[in-house]
Structure 1
Amino acid sequence: MLFLSTKMVNRHKYIETAALFSLYGLVISALFSIVLVEIFAGLLFLLWGLHLITVEDGWVKRSLITWVLLVFVGLRLLSIPFSVNIGASLKVFEKLPLLLLFFPIYSLFERKRLLQAAIIFAIAAAVAALLGGARVALFGLDRARTTYGGYTGLSLQLVIATSLALGIAFIDKSRRWILLLLPILIFGLTATFARTQWVSATIALIFIVATVKPKYLHYLLAGIAVLASIAPESVFVRFLETFRYGWDSSRLHIWSGGFRLLENLPFMGYGPYTFGYIFPDDIWNLVIDKKVWNYHNDFLQILLESGAMAMILLAALWGMIFRVAVRATRDADIFKISVSGAFIGLFLSSIFNGVILDPMVMPIFAFLLAILRDDKFPELCDGDRVLLVRTDRLGDVILTTPMARVLREKFPGVKVDMMTKGYCADIASMHPDIDRVFAFDSIFSTSQSIHDSDYAAAVLVHPDLKAALALAFSRIPLRIGTGFRLWSPFLLTCRILRHRRTDRHEMRLNLDLLKPFDIDPDMEIAPRLELEENSRDDAEQLLAENGYSGGTLVVFHPGSGGSTLKCPPEIFGKAAKLLIERDVEIAVTGSGSDKHETATFLSTAGNAVIVLSEKTDIILLAGVLDRADVVIASGTGPLHLAAALGTPVGGVYPPSKTSGPVRWGPLGSKSIIIRPNLEECERCRGKSCPHYNCMELIEPDKIVEAVLKLINARA
């Protein structure tokens, strides 16, 4: 399901308002006009699509029911090419979208709105019951019907409405007025002369009362007895026919014809809506009601039309519905209990009439299924383990580590582990709230290692497909990640619907992934790493061996590893030379991939530079940055590493928003941002930009000024 932030822009409010109007229209028109149902269904699908495109803040928790429903629909569609009459089976495209309404309703509306829609549906059902019953009582019609369909559809709708009305009346005293609708609904249901639905409604109401208010059960049973005593003779005659079934019954003839067809059942069935083309003629002649269009049993219908797998999925869907119903009973959720009662009535009707394929019932079935959704996010318990997964660069990993701190503050008994690339693992292990760090290997070996650790949840911070596959194969029950990858719905169980905008810092975007745990991503926090004392000693020794005399130390890291538009190393070198003239000791760091930048820096800065390039591993580099008085670098990993260690930093950034300090700046009070004197642009357009050389416009004096400010502030 999707939970929207209260901070919504206007276009989301317009979509929400239009969607709410469409939902209300859908539940009303389901009782009066199939054309209006299709119109409102189309609107809901359209608004859902717009919402998914424009949503900026929300999350979706995957439900197993959604997958069962999707695969069931897929098998229905897959059976069309194998149909004995493809033209007839193509009608499935007219009907199935009504069942798929579950998805927009499930995604767009929270519980309060669905409760309002349920009240509106109950009122509309009472109007339909009154109209249908009046036509029987006043105009001699044989059965109450809807204005556009048969008595079965109306009776099924009224079974649902009576259950919802009774449950809503129990929720709070202000809604007790809805009990006034029950006599009208029961009157209309009686007038349909649908015996199965009489029994279904009775059992549903008994279930609701026995679960919610068992002390009122005798009142309900007394009311049923009173209704039975005042019912017209025609109702008694109709009801007694239930117990006089013989092999001359039309329903039993239909079932016997269906069972005969099972003898030569194709693997994918005979195709949707082929009843009239394949039903045995000799048995059809025994059927009295020639308007019958289905097998009067959902399971038999789906088995014959779409094969055994589709029938198994239908059974699984009902099983999941009743599993959630049991949970609702245990949690004393009255609204869901009333919906469960409606489903009990529908299930009984599905055995003797057929429900799932009735176009009048499909949209309300989808509506009820959305209400019954599992909208509780699992709480983490003491001893649970959570895995943070970030398999890209060093700076990204450092900006992910605050997630461990907020998780431990929210759930003190939880242990947090982290999976990174190999060279980042030692740095992540420096965070005091991370228990264990390991490197991503291959998909299968990593998934086995994760599975053996028995994690309760994993957060895929960087949307990497290989890492996502490893998490999915490890069968971690809760897998959280961004919702805007094609594979996200298949590999993640909870998707965060938030675009990684340039006006929000990367660390905040990472914390957004923890919103389902009710964690505020805007809390005051910054990356903090703790260096062991022996690493500091090793760094001091390395510096001394390379000529450091103990004065003010400024470390330059001219490389960027290609992660951002870098400042030319000669500008760093000129700034370093000016600082050397002020008796500041300069060191330069870098990896093997930074050889060119280091050489250019040294040719400009002169020979008085302490050269540490290619002399440090990642931990030793951390020790050097921790020892420095100031660190100067582009917006890359070593800059964030120094800031996380508490060292004052000067970050050199391009004017583009995508690489700028708002998104990627160092966090903490001890930092200064240095940028070229140009207007900010949305993103770097490469050589097509007239200011492609923008980083060459940075003045060395500006870097020197920033360094001196940071040194003075530290002093």
Structure 2
Amino acid sequence: MNAPLPLAPPTLAHARVPDTSPPGCWGDDVKRILCVRLDNLGDVLMSTPALHALRESGKERHLTLLASRSGVALAPFLDDVDDVIEYDAPWVAPASGSGHDLAADRRMQQRLRAGRFDAAVIFTVYSQSPLPAAMLCYLAGIPRRLAHCRENPYALLTDWLREPEPQQRTRHEVQRQLDLVRHVGAQTADTRMRFHVPAAARRSLAAQLAARRIVPDTADTADATAAAQATQAANCAPIVLHPGATAASRRYPPERFGAVASRLALATGAPILLTGSASERPLVEAVLRAAAPAMRAQLHDLSGALNLGELAALLERASVLVSNNSGPVHLASALGTPVVDLYALTNPQHTPWQTPQRVLYRDVECRWCYRSVCPHEHHACLLGVSIEEVVHAALELRHPHASPERRDPPVRSDRRHGEPCCDDAASSLTDQPAVP
């Protein structure tokens, strides 16, 4: 359930893994750690188990996340992160397409120096070089610097693992980052991705659903038994469809999403909720136009209506998420929500993690292209997946006997407010499935 896709990696004649730096142990003197993750929201989410390992493996550790604008949005929901710094690095493609300011880069170097960090961990996917970030941390005077690296980094990294991917093997992105921090002695038994849903987000979502008349009317079931009420609640739990993705190469056609929505509405009678950003509203509208007219009353457009906390609150109460491989897939994984992942073969590492799942794709010779636009313009890795397969997978995961019972959320320590607390999520809407 937690492995990358079981497709053969390329075999290269020059592939070998030379020695890396000796394994070490960052002791209790390493208290202030800069965690560098400069790509997307989903990438930051997949680094949260490693962040938790860093937190657990030293006394009084303080973690600062250095992230892009997208990644920074996660910080309020990550209990292991104490501080956050936003940085759109010049070696990472900007979401806005805007240019970079050299003066801003110099100010960032000075800000990191002022942070007096004891160490930096640079998280990357295997197609990214850690060396620009390593140089930034080196110039900022951070004495310990850890990353995966393909070539010898010499003085830029004090602790490093030789990059083995994709020549020797591929790992799930979560496992990759756990292996990285283990090199300096940071380990954890709890390898779940982490996202704390605030109670205020749940209340705000509930108000929105009630205003849109999406929640079921339970007035006529007041005399029903608790078991009957629970069954009705399960049957009425919404199905969430997310038709967007940042890259065109990872989008299943909206016409097919419309057909999937129609068939799920007919088969279940449950509300079908369509999510996306405000900029994705035209895409969601295309899905609605493609849906069967008789089923449209069960379909609800939430594009642009939810902030990140409310989206998480929605996903934790959903019976299943059907989505392109994008941020909501990883958010659902962090919340234990079953996922049907329409997985374009742009990379092998980002499947759902520790949650009931069906990963749908067709193998193609051009797999692992790492392209945002299909280079051959055929989208065969996605278009080979039929509507029937998607519907069947969603119904199978949604069935109450198809997935394990949901687990209770962990008791957490609210470091930001200095007091222990147990999240008020101990209800049927906030349980999570057991880790396999």
Structure 1 residue 578 corresponds to structure 2 residue 263: yes
Structure 2 residue aligned with 1:532: 198
Alignment of 1:505-524 (within 5 A): 505-519=172-186
Runs of 4+ in 1 over 6 A off after TM superposition: 685-688
Give the counterpart of 2:170 among 489, 503, 511.
503
Percent identity (aligned): 27
Residue 637 (structure 1) aligns with: 327
Question: Using the alignment, how far apart are the partners of 1:383 and 1:494 within structure 2?
Answer: 14
Match of 1:626, SS state, is: helix
The alpha carbon displacement at 1:528 in A equals 2.2
Which residue identity lines up with residue 457 of structure 1 in the other structure?
A: A
Contact preservation (8 Å) 1:380, 1:456: no
* Among 136, 150, 160, the residue aligned to 1:470: 136
Note if contact 2:28-2:59 (Cα within 8 Å) is conserved in structure 1.
Answer: no
Letter in 2 for 1:493: T
Letter in 2 for 1:555: V
Give the counterpart letter for 1:675 in structure 2. Answer: Y
Equivalent positions of 1:558-569 (< 5 A) are 558-562=243-247, 565-569=250-254
The one of 40, 59, 77 equivalent to 2:20 is: 59
Cα offset, 1:505, TM superposition? 0.8
Q: 1:672-700 CA deviation, whole Å, 9 max, x = no partner?
A: 22224x46764349767596434122222
| Alignment deviations for residues 526-567 of structure 1 (CA, whole Å, 9 cap, x no partner) | 212111111111122222233312332011111110175321
SS of the aligned residue for 1:698 comes to coil
The amino acid of 1:585's aligned partner reads: P
The 8 Å contact of residues 500 and 509 in structure 1, kept in 2 or not, is answered as: no
Q: Is there any run of 5+ residues in structure 1 with no aligned partner, and where?
A: 1-49, 61-374
* Distance in 1, Cα, partners of 2:374 & 2:26: 50
Q: Distance in 1 between matches of 2:111 and 2:246?
A: 30
1:549 and 1:445, CA in 2 relative to 1: closer, same or farther beyond 3 A?
same
What do residues 339-398 of structure 1 show as CA deviations (whole Å, max 9, x unaligned)?
xxxxxxxxxxxxxxxxxxxxxxxxxxxxxxxxxxxx684632157111211010111110
Is the counterpart of residue 434 in structure 1 residue 81 in structure 2?
Answer: yes
1:569 to partner: Cα distance: 1.9
Superposition pairs for residues 367-386 of structure 1, below 5 Å? 377=24, 379-381=26-28, 384-386=31-33
- 1:564 and 1:636 in contact (8 A); partners too: no
Q: Give the drift of 1:499.
A: 3.0
The residue aligned with 2:347 is 659
- The corresponding residue for 2:53 is 406
Q: Distance in 1 between matches of 2:23 and 2:341?
A: 43
> Secondary structure of the residue that 2:20 maps to in structure 1?
strand
Aligned-partner residue type, residue 383 of structure 2: E
CA contact (8 A) 2:258 2:290 kept: yes
Residues 303-360 of structure 1 deviation map (CA, whole Å, 9 limit, x = unaligned)? xxxxxxxxxxxxxxxxxxxxxxxxxxxxxxxxxxxxxxxxxxxxxxxxxxxxxxxxxx
Which amino acid in 2 is paired with 1:557?
H
Deviation, structure 1 residue 477 = 0.2
The one-letter code matched in structure 1 to 2:261 is A
Partner of 2:123: 461
1:690, 1:418 → 2: CA distance? Answer: 37
CA pair 592-467 structure 1, distance change in 2 beyond 3 A = farther
Distance 1:690 1:469, change over 3 A: closer
CA distance in 2, matches of 1:694, 1:633: 15
Determine the structure 2 residue equivalent to 1:424: 71
In structure 2, the residue matched to 1:588 is 274
The answer as to 2:306 corresponding to 1:611 is no
State the TM-score, normalizing by the size of structure 2.
0.70
1:505–1:649 CA distance, 2 compared to 1 (3 A): same
Q: Which residue of the partner structure matches residue 338 of structure 2?
A: 648
CA contact (8 A) 1:653 1:659 kept: no
Instruction: Give the direction of change, closer, same or farther, for the CA distance of 1:457–1:524 in structure 2 (3 Å limit).
Output: same
Q: Tell me how far apart the structure 2 counterparts of residues 707 and 672 of structure 1 sit (CA, whole Å).
A: 8
Using the TM superposition, give the Cα deviation of residue 465 of structure 1 relative to its aligned residue in structure 2, in angstroms. Answer: 5.9
CA distance, structure 1, for counterparts of residue 65 and residue 40 of structure 2: 14
Instruction: Check the 8 A contact 1:420/1:438 in 2, yes or no.
Output: yes
Which protein is richer in helix relative to its size?
1
| Alignment partner, residue 221 of structure 2 | none
Q: 1:165-187: CA deviations, max 9, x gaps?
A: xxxxxxxxxxxxxxxxxxxxxxx
Separation of aligned partners in 1, 2:307 and 2:18 = 40
Residues 262-294 of structure 1: CA distance to partner in whole angstroms, max 9, x if unpaired? xxxxxxxxxxxxxxxxxxxxxxxxxxxxxxxxx
Encode CA deviations 1:117-152: one digit per residue, 9 max, x unaligned.
Answer: xxxxxxxxxxxxxxxxxxxxxxxxxxxxxxxxxxxx
Listed as ranges, the matches of 1:116-127 within 5 Å are none
Instruction: Go from structure 1 to structure 2 and tell me whether the alpha carbon gap of 1:491 and 1:580 turns closer, same or farther (over 3 Å shift).
Output: same
- Cα distance in 2 for partners of 1:546, 1:57 equals 59
- 1:126-275 correspondence runs (5 A): none
Is the 1:427–1:619 Cα contact (8 Å) retained in structure 2? no
In 1, the alpha carbon distance for the partners of 2:249 and 2:376 equals 16
Is the contact made by 1:630 and 1:647 (CA closer than 8 Å) also made in structure 2?
A: yes
Equivalent AA in structure 2 for residue 633 of structure 1:
S
Q: Aligned residue for 1:712?
A: 399
CA-based RMSD: 3.0
Amino acid at match of 1:541: A
Q: Kindly provide the amino acid, as one letter, of the partner of residue 156 in structure 2.
A: L
Alignment of 1:676-691 (within 5 A): 676=362, 678=363, 682-684=367-369
Query: Which structure would you say has the larger Rg?
Result: 1
After superposing the two structures, state which structure 1 stretch, 640-649 or 595-604, moved more: 595-604
How far apart are residue 464 of structure 1 and its match?
5.7
Other structure's SS at 1:459 match: strand
Cα distance 1:491–1:706, how it changes in 2: closer, same or farther (>3 A)?
same
Q: Is 1:493 paired with 2:148?
A: no
* CA shift in 2, pair 1:496/1:563, >3 Å: farther
Distance 2:325 2:315 in 1: 15
> Which position in structure 1 is the counterpart of 2:419?
none
Residues 468 and 614 of structure 1: is their aligned pair in 2 closer, same or farther, counting only changes over 3 Å? farther
Work out the number of aligned pairs and report it.
344
| Equivalence for 1:481 | 147
Shift of 1:427: 1.7
The alpha-carbon deviation at position 490 of structure 1 amounts to: 5.4
Shift of 1:613: 0.8
Q: 2:238 aligns with which of 550, 553, 558?
A: 553
1:470 Cα deviation (Å)? 3.1
Aligned partners of 2:54 and 2:187 also within 8 Å: no
Would the aligned equivalents of 2:244 and 2:283 in 1 still touch at CA under 8 Å? yes
1:543 and 1:635, CA in 2 relative to 1: closer, same or farther beyond 3 A?
same
SS in 2 for 1:514: helix
